[in-house]
Amino acid sequence: MWKIEKQMAIAAARVAATLCEQVRAQQDEQTLQKADRSPVTIADFGCQAVICQALQTNFPDDPVVAEEDALIFKQPENKSRWEQITEYVKSQIASATPEDVAAWIDRGNGQVARRYWTLDPIDGTKGFIRGDQYAIALALIEEGEVKLGILACPALPFHPEQPNQDKGVLFVAVQGEGTEMISLHRNQSVSVRVNQEQTGEKLRLIESVESAHSDRAKYRELAAKLGITQTFLQMDSQAKYGAVARGQADLYLRIPRPENLSRRENIWDHAAGAIVVTEAGGKVTDLNGNNLDFSLGSKLTNNLGIVASNGAIHNQVLSIWAKSRN
Ligand code: AMP
Ligand code: MG
């Protein structure tokens, strides 16, 4: 199912990945600051424009709930950035005008509905700026459940054991049909599975590079109770879900920090990644063992934190967490 949606999403993610890599090659990753003081680059906006353009053309009735909006360009000091973004978008869509670009970006201001798309044009912007991992994350939701997820990871090596070669992969997952990993530059695709063989010390935890994004002390303590004491892989963005899906890591945990306990996760930060892991045979819930509920708005209002695992260790992780709360 979702064949046409999948084809379109793969094509759009490829275009967006090319645009991001062009921005990197030109060393144009300078940032603007959003109202919440988080960084955003011209690549974030360019990506959102090209993907929303494709969604508008192919599925004009589907709302898109995306991370960015074009409000920032209404400020006169950002006019030159707007023109710069338009140039990058034109390299992919020749007829694009600055007004088109703003309208495509603002198509991402849609509302959650029975069926909708959610997009993080660059997840892990801090990683993108640092020259590390980032992901373009696009997902289709129906009835609060993810049906299709695409993660484009232009800086991720196809083979984890060869970290400096053959970078650029797409993870593609469709509900009931498994997860594929497709090379962004070669004609190769493989189906991926989680690794359920590892136990004790061999289990690998993957975590954010940014320690401010999660309670590192707490999840490392939890991981230690599983026997994981030192194999902490670090990676920005939802590429972490790809790493779990392909058996490079076994566990990814997100626990709100004590000063931020009421923070709830954004839907676009988890939708694509979650289906990439579950369709590869893993499991994704919140810390209380509840399924992620994508029907409530732009935040996972009813979910606390994230547990993404190889499936085999999932219940053990949940029970360690539950005990730590008592
Ligand atoms: P990661 O690279 O996995 O740390 O994830 C990047 C995502 O972290 C971004 O898309 C942000 O939405 C999210 N983020 C930013 N600030 C915080 C925070 N204080 N706590 C949790 N997540 C955050
Ligand atoms: Mg994000």
Q: Which tokens belong to 8?
A: 């379109």
- Of how many residues is the chain composed? 326
Ligand closest to 259 (CA) is 1
Ligand closest to 38 (CA) is 1
For residue 219, what are the contacts with CB-CB under 8 A and spacing of at least 6? 205, 207, 253, 254, 255
* pLDDT band for position 232 (cuts 50, 70, 90): confident
Q: What secondary structure letter does DSSP report for 310?
A: -
Cross-strand partners of 118: 65, 139
Q: Is 213 in the pocket of ligand 1 (CB under 6 A)?
A: yes
* pLDDT band for position 201 (cuts 50, 70, 90): confident
Q: Report which protein residue has its CA nearest ligand 1's atom 16.
A: 213
Determine phi and psi for 233, rounding to 5 degrees.
-80, 140
CA of 92 to the centre of ligand 1 (A): 29
pTM > 0.85: yes or no: yes
For 249-292, how does the pLDDT look when each residue is reduced to its tens digit (9 = 90+)? Answer: 999 999 999 998 899 999 999 999 999 999 999 999 999 999 99
Q: Is 238 in the pocket of ligand 1 (CB under 6 A)?
A: no
Decide if 231 is catalytic: no
Q: Is 237 in the pocket of ligand 1 (CB under 6 A)?
A: yes
User: Per the residue annotation, which of 44, 123, 236, 269 is the catalytic one?
Assistant: 44
Percentage above 90 pLDDT, the chain? 86
> Best mutation site among 36, 38, 68, 210 for ligand 1, i.e. most ligand atoms within 8 A of its Cβ?
210
Decide if 36 is catalytic: no
Compute the Cα dihedral for 69, 307, 3, 8 and give only its sign: positive
- Given a contact cutoff of 8 angstroms between Cβ atoms, the answer to whether 219 and 207 are in contact is yes
- Given a contact cutoff of 8 angstroms between Cβ atoms, the answer to whether 42 and 79 are in contact is no
Q: Report which protein residue has its CA nearest ligand 1's atom 19.
A: 213
Determine phi and psi for 32, rounding to 5 degrees.
-105, 160
Q: How far is CA 265 from the centre of its chain?
A: 12
Q: What secondary structure letter does DSSP report for 4?
A: H
Q: Which tokens belong to 20?
A: 């991001």
Q: Give yes or no for residue 75 having a pLDDT over 80.
A: yes
> Best mutation site among 125, 207, 213 for ligand 1, i.e. most ligand atoms within 8 A of its Cβ?
213
Please state which of the ranges 32-41, 135-144, 204-213 shows the lowest mean pLDDT: 32-41
